[in-house]
Amino acid sequence: MGKHRASHGSGTPEYNGAGVSRASGRNVSRGEHTPVLLERCLELLSPALQGQHPVHVDATLGLGGHAEAVLAAHPSVTVVALDRDPHAIERSTQRLAPYADRIMLAHAAYDDLPDVLDRLALSTVDSILFDLGVSSMQLDDAARGFAYAQDAPLDMRMDPTRGVTAEEVVNSYPAAQLARVLRVYGEEKFATRIAAAIVRERTRAPITSSARLAELVRESIPAPARRTGGHPAKRSFQALRIEVNGELASLEAAMPAALDVLAVGGRVVVLAYHSLEDRMVKRALAERARSTAPVDLPVELPGTGPSLRLLTRGAERASEAEVAANPRAASVRLRAAERIDPDASASGPTKALHQPLARGHRGSKGDRNTAYPADRDINDEGE
Ligand SMILES: C[S@@+](CC[C@H](N)C(=O)[O-])C[C@H]1O[C@@H](n2cnc3c(N)ncnc32)[C@H](O)[C@@H]1O
């Protein structure tokens, strides 16, 4: 990693040919963002960051709140930070300037983590944090079209340099496909009606603004149903954002790739805000936390032991106090695991037992796939 030189003064990130840069600049912007479950994340990551030169990956840098706290708490840690949003990289570059010699920034999607690490000549890392979804900076920038309460062109791309916009989705998807997106990603009961209204409207004129779309959605939902559950367009906007950014496909590819690069003893922590994301995380962790040996064998065979130990019982939630102080924590579900040697229990008398370490946190209801508010209310949350 030494080939990437720190530089101070410009206030903007400096990308090298590999798409990886060091933080630079002196204008540190702070105090405008409250990272979710910060103390719990630090507590879970800490045991993995005690070596001489530990490497931590922040897969979703955002405004750099979690990354800054890891850097401050662990003076020997180097952080590799990814975000698909170049604005997030730029903002965090300024915030993290005091740690410029210990952070590598990459404008990349988290499913590109193996490539990013390859470019840095790293084969394993000691910890990885995913804080999924959209950032408050993205929601607050009205021009990006994420928010239904502000009129803007219908974009919604986290990476504005590539991919299709919400405008293209809304104006080109067949009605059935649109309805599916709204129903599955937004848990929208009136998905079919909304999709039909969108298709009717776009035959008259393309739908290009967030205000027009929000109004169409509102008009499609029966009046009694509009009185509960927040703004009527909330679920549809969330669904379009997930579709535009391919959020679930990206996570599905990223989880196994991330677990593959964790060193033995390394830890992964994931904060999910959507039930489908959390389910995906749960499955990815559970799959590796169980033995693949035949159930009737009393001992593990070499290579069949679990390669993960779960650190959380079910999913943990934010405390009521945190939610009161930071509404964006309301829908969070935290899961964490530690990489273990699958052969460690190969000659032992019993198969490895997983001992959850959760202490003093509100758990979700066991391991059941419970329904909960699908996402943050994107217009209500503060930083
Ligand atoms: C909730 S914010 C992270 C906030 C951050 N933990 C902090 O303390 O400021 C999520 C970030 O993940 C980024 N993101 C979402 N999907 C991504 C993906 N597939 N690859 C990389 N970054 C992604 C978003 O652009 C956003 O900046």
Q: Which fold has domain 14-136+248-363?
A: Rossmann fold (3.40.50)
Report the range of poorest mean pLDDT among 21-35, 53-67, 72-86, 214-228. Answer: 21-35
Taking residues 198-211, report their average pLDDT.
Answer: 96
How many A from CA of 59 to the centre of ligand 1? 7
pLDDT digits 0-9 by tens, 39-79: 999 999 999 999 999 999 999 999 999 999 999 999 999 99
Protein residues with CB under 6 Å of any ligand 1 atom? 33, 35, 60, 62-66, 82-85, 88, 109-110, 131, 133, 135, 158, 250
Instruction: Give 141 or 322, the one with higher predicted confidence.
Output: 322
> Has residue 173 got a pLDDT over 70?
yes
Tell me the mean pLDDT in the region 102-106: 97
pLDDT at 324: 95
Atom number in ligand 1 closest to CA 129: 6
Whether residue 27 has pLDDT greater than 60: no
pLDDT band of 291, cuts 50, 70, 90: confident
Other Cβ atoms within 10 Å of 367 Cβ, number: 13
Lowest mean pLDDT among 41-50, 241-250, 255-264, 339-348: 339-348
Measured in Å, how far apart are the chain's first and last C-alpha atoms? 33
**Token output for 258:** 């991330």
Q: Where are the domains of the chain?
A: 14-136+248-363, 160-244
Residues 6 or more apart from 302 whose CB is under 8 A from it?
A: 343, 346
Ligand 1 centre to CA of 313 (Å) is 25
Q: What is the CATH number of domain 160-244?
A: 1.10.150.170
Output the pTM of the full model: 0.84
Pairing outcome for strands 20-22 and 78-83: unpaired
Closest approach atom of ligand 1 to CA 108: 21
Averaged pLDDT score across all residues of the chain: 84
Structure tokens at 3: 């080939």
* pLDDT > 70: percent of the chain: 81
For residue 376, pLDDT beyond 80: no
Q: Is the pLDDT of residue 299 over 80?
A: no
Rounded to an integer, what distance in angstroms lies between the CA atom of residue 188 and that of residue 27?
A: 43
Nearest Cα to 335, choosing from 270, 383, 246? 270
Kindly report the CA angle at 223 between 220 and 228, in degrees rounded to 5? 105
> Per-residue pLDDT for 192 more than 60?
yes
**Length reported for the chain:** 383
User: Once rounded to an integer, what is the mean pLDDT over residues 199-210?
Assistant: 96
- CA-closest candidate to residue 330, choices 363, 366, 281, 376: 376
pLDDT digits (tens, 9 = 90+) for 300-321: 777 778 999 999 999 999 999 9
Candidate of 39, 80, 83 to mutate for ligand 1, largest count of ligand atoms within 8 Å of Cβ: 83
pLDDT of residue 14: 35
The predicted model gives 274-297 an average pLDDT of 90
Chain centroid to CA 75: how far? 25
